[in-house]
Amino acid sequence: MPSSVVRTRPEDLAARLGVGGAAEQGDALLRVVREVKNQIIGNKTKKLRYLHLGAVPKIVSVLAAASQGGAGHGDAAVIVQAAAAIGSFACGVEDGVRAVLDSGALPHLTSILSHPEEKVVDAGARSLKMIFQSKLAPKYDVLQEKNLKFIFSLLDSDNENVTELAACIIAHSCERSEEQKALCDAGVLQKLVSLLGGSSNQKDACLNSIEAVVKYNPEVSSKFACIDYGKALKALTNLILDRRHPHTRFLACKCLIAVGQASPCHVEELQIKSKLVLVLVELLEEPGRVGDEVPFSLKTLIEDNEELHKQALSVNAVEKLCSFLHMSSINERRLQGLLIALAELSSKLEECRCQLISPQVLSLIIDALKHDRTDVRVAACYCIRNITRSLKNISAGCLSSEAVIVQFVQLLDDPSKLVQIAALSALCNIVVNGATRKSVLIRSEGVSRLVQLSKSMDSALRYVSVQVLRNLLFLADITDKECILKELTLSTLASLVYDSDCSIQEQALALLNNLMDGCDSIKHLFAEDNMILDAIMRQLKNSSSVGVCIQGMFVLCNIAARSELEKDSVMNFLVPSHEDSCNRSLAIKFLQSKENSLRVACLWCLVNLTNPNSGGLSRRVTRLRDAGIIFQLKSMLNDPCLDCKLRVRMILEQCTEFETTQG
């Protein structure tokens, strides 16, 4: 017999629900509740429709009435149907969870967990499980004794639905480290480990909550690792090898990754970790949720670990990840994960970058830049950023095409700040070399957009956009440089040098260095009453950031390479004449810095100041001697930094050369 589509309309059914008025009683009520349940299960549209009709509070009151009306058989059937309907409302629809919580379903569902009939307990536990899988569900305060006791009473149940519920509540409620510790001290971990011997659903639930209890918590993780002399860890390593249950396998991997991250000494570094890499790469092929989530775990596992990157490469992780990119009906979550994993893998190894540069793969990543989902666009940007960490790749293939640059420029207007930052950081690498690319960016109004972003209120955005401008100016030709500077303006530059964030000051000074490099642009430093130069000198005097001082000194170094006048102004700044030298001169301060690069920067500046071909050399050497700088330099003849040592010798030679010719 084929089924009929004629079903009672939700409006009619909703009216017949609940207590009093038009509500049904007895068997008729049971049928109505069951019908509602069957209409909404799996059907989001219907759930929303019934929510609008106010069905949830009505069903909750049916549940309340039935569960209070004694344990008669009729009641039990109504309870089961009502609990199932409530659970379904809480599944997959946020408004549904809210409605269920608002109508006070929790205490009623909890009370039926002690019902004598197994079917009722099952229904209650399943329904609560649905609720606690939602982020909206209230957390159990596990620091309270009575709540802990309750959770333990559930864990001790013979009914697997109830133990799964307990695991679910733990995973949901355990967030802060004191909660993790409280649960651990109460022996929850031992209990969960013992439940790993149960059915696969129970296993999965327990693994989820073990992960929640140990995550980011070194103390709890190490206690977990020591349970029964490592038996718990052993159980997990066995589970990751069980090919029959991919979901369980994956959850066990996640637990091990969490333990390994929180307490590295307990997860024997490479041995277990390479096994994990192997298993995760295998699990990439799983359909559904497991396969979608695997790339994220793989990324977490191998993050910043070159050895594990190599491991992953050796089991063809990159080929596999790429092969999924080629699939037509790939969902957003998986696409995001694949890109994130590929970005991680290409962050260090050139070999991986080379694999991704092939036109087929690269075009897929570039397509992802246009994806609807913010997360996917961000991941694609970072992927391209890391691929272009290789100089070889920047100049290769489609990345040099005008279209790609234009696409990145468009992303600078993305509504999401995360995308803007990610796009900027990719551009940073892309614009480093290639004159054509630079001019494409300039022509496509990318520069004016970059300049706007460099004035953003958000410091992260300011930082990366100045960085892009800095790289854009690197080895750019003079017309491009002038063009960029015109857009940027000196006053913006000065305000960037004065930025409240010293990492941005540093970038701005580095930008100035690239601007001045090898051409006549140095004149801009002196324009508008030395506006820029003043800014640099102010920062050098006051900044406590080494980076800022290094970049500032390199700017001075460039100035000191020029005319007498400019040399003298640098000299006056670094080594003030006697009258105002009550403080240690800047030159001495920098030469005595612990930071190698700062000493080197300062020494290069002195190299330029003592250039034998300049006229005012005698004046300057005397000044240096009087200020005790020559003495300081002599003490640095055996500087631990080779670069410093060589520069010191060079300066001293230049000075003595002058003195001997004089003498």
Partner 1 sequence: MSHFYYLLGHFNPVETVTMSKKVITREEWEKKLKDVNIRKEDMNKLVMNFLVTEGYVEAAEKFRIESGTEPDIDLATITDRMAVKKALQSGNVEDAIEKVNDLNPMILDTNPQLYFHLQQQRMIELIRCGKVEEALEFAQEELAPRGEENQSFLEELERTVALLAFDDIKNCPYGDLLDVSQRLKTASELNAAILTSQSHEKDPKLPSLLKMLIWAQNQLDEKAAYPRITNFTTAALEDPAV
Tokens 């080895």 belong to residue: 475
Contacts by residues 459-463 (CB-CB < 8 Å, ≥ 24 positions apart): 459/499, 459/500, 459/501, 459/504, 460/417, 460/421, 461/417, 461/420, 461/421, 461/424, 462/496, 462/499, 462/501, 462/504, 463/501, 463/503, 463/504, 463/507
Return the residues of window 326-345 that contact partner 1 according to CB under 8 A: 329
Distance, in Å, from the CA atom of 336 to the CA atom of 375, rounded to the nearest integer, reads 6
The contacts of residue 165 (CB under 8 Å, 6+ apart) are 113, 125, 128, 129, 132, 154
Please report how close the Cβ of residue 199 comes to partner 1 at its closest, in angstroms.
Answer: 3
The contacts of residue 372 (CB under 8 Å, 6+ apart) are 332
Of the pair 199, 271, the CB lying nearest partner 1 is at: 199
Of the pair 160, 568, the CB lying nearest partner 1 is at: 160
Please report how close the Cβ of residue 294 comes to partner 1 at its closest, in angstroms.
Answer: 19
Q: Are 38 and 80 in contact (CB under 8 A)?
A: no
Span of 43-51, 62-70, 140-148, 233-241 interacting with partner 1 by CB under 8 A: 43-51
581: how many CB neighbours lie within 10 A of its CB?
14
44 binds partner 1 (CB under 8 A): yes
The token duo for 633 is: 């330099």
Of the pair 2, 415, the CB lying nearest partner 1 is at: 2
Span of 199-207, 318-326, 404-412, 508-516 interacting with partner 1 by CB under 8 A: 199-207
Return the residues of window 237-256 that contact partner 1 according to CB under 8 A: 244
Span of 35-43, 446-454, 516-524, 577-585 interacting with partner 1 by CB under 8 A: 35-43
Q: Tell me the DSSP string of 207-219.
A: HHHHHHHHTT-HH
Q: What are phi and psi of 556, to 5 degrees?
A: -60, -40
Distance, in Å, from the CA atom of 147 to the CA atom of 153, rounded to the nearest integer, reads 10
18 binds partner 1 (CB under 8 A): no
- Considering only 28, 42, 319, 435, the residue that binds partner 1 (CB under 8 A) is 42
The number of helices, as runs of H, and strands, as runs of E, in the chain is 41, 0
Q: Is 489 exposed, middle or buried (0-12, 13-18, 19+ CB in 10 A)?
A: exposed
- Considering only 129, 215, 299, 377, the residue that binds partner 1 (CB under 8 A) is 129
Of the pair 5, 582, the CB lying nearest partner 1 is at: 5
582 binds partner 1 (CB under 8 A): no
Q: Which of 364, 359, 347, 262 shows the shortest CA–CA distance to 299?
A: 347
The three state secondary structure string of 70-111 is CCCHHHHHHHHHHHHHHHHHCCCCHHHHHHHHHCCHHHHHHH
The token duo for 427 is: 């551009």
Tally the C-alpha atoms within 13 A of residue 544's C-alpha that lie toward its C-beta.
1
The token duo for 383 is: 């992927």
130 binds partner 1 (CB under 8 A): yes
Span of 31-39, 53-61, 100-108, 177-185 interacting with partner 1 by CB under 8 A: 31-39
Return the residues of window 201-220 that contact partner 1 according to CB under 8 A: 201-202
92 binds partner 1 (CB under 8 A): yes
What is the separation, in whole angstroms, between the first and last Cα of the chain? 119
Interface mask toward partner 1 for 147-176; x: CB under 8 A: -------------x----------------
The token duo for 205 is: 């639930």
- Considering only 87, 260, 291, 295, the residue that binds partner 1 (CB under 8 A) is 87
Please report how close the Cβ of residue 244 comes to partner 1 at its closest, in angstroms.
Answer: 6
Of the pair 130, 540, the CB lying nearest partner 1 is at: 130
3 binds partner 1 (CB under 8 A): yes
501: how many CB neighbours lie within 10 A of its CB?
14
Span of 82-90, 175-183, 276-284, 516-524 interacting with partner 1 by CB under 8 A: 82-90
- Considering only 23, 24, 31, 38, the residue that binds partner 1 (CB under 8 A) is 38
Of the pair 200, 358, the CB lying nearest partner 1 is at: 200
372 binds partner 1 (CB under 8 A): no
Distance, in Å, from the CA atom of 60 to the CA atom of 81, rounded to the nearest integer, reads 11
8 binds partner 1 (CB under 8 A): no
Distance, in Å, from the CA atom of 38 to the CA atom of 625, rounded to the nearest integer, reads 94
91 binds partner 1 (CB under 8 A): yes
Site for partner 1 (CB under 8 A): how many residues? 29
CA 394 to chain centre: 24
4 binds partner 1 (CB under 8 A): yes
68 binds partner 1 (CB under 8 A): no
- Considering only 33, 63, 79, 84, the residue that binds partner 1 (CB under 8 A) is 84
Span of 40-48, 271-279, 357-365, 390-398 interacting with partner 1 by CB under 8 A: 40-48
Span of 17-25, 123-131, 438-446, 595-603 interacting with partner 1 by CB under 8 A: 123-131
397 binds partner 1 (CB under 8 A): no
Q: Are 388 and 423 in contact (CB under 8 A)?
A: no
Of the pair 196, 636, the CB lying nearest partner 1 is at: 196
The three state secondary structure string of 534-574 is HHHHHHHHHCCCHHHHHHHHHHHHHHHCCCHHHHHHHHHHH
Please report how close the Cβ of residue 37 comes to partner 1 at its closest, in angstroms.
Answer: 6
Of the pair 28, 527, the CB lying nearest partner 1 is at: 28
- Considering only 37, 266, 377, 623, the residue that binds partner 1 (CB under 8 A) is 37
5 binds partner 1 (CB under 8 A): yes
Q: Are 335 and 321 in contact (CB under 8 A)?
A: no
The site for partner 1 (CB under 8 A) is made up of 1-5, 34, 37-38, 41-45, 84, 87-88, 91-92, 123, 126, 129-130, 160, 199-202, 244, 329
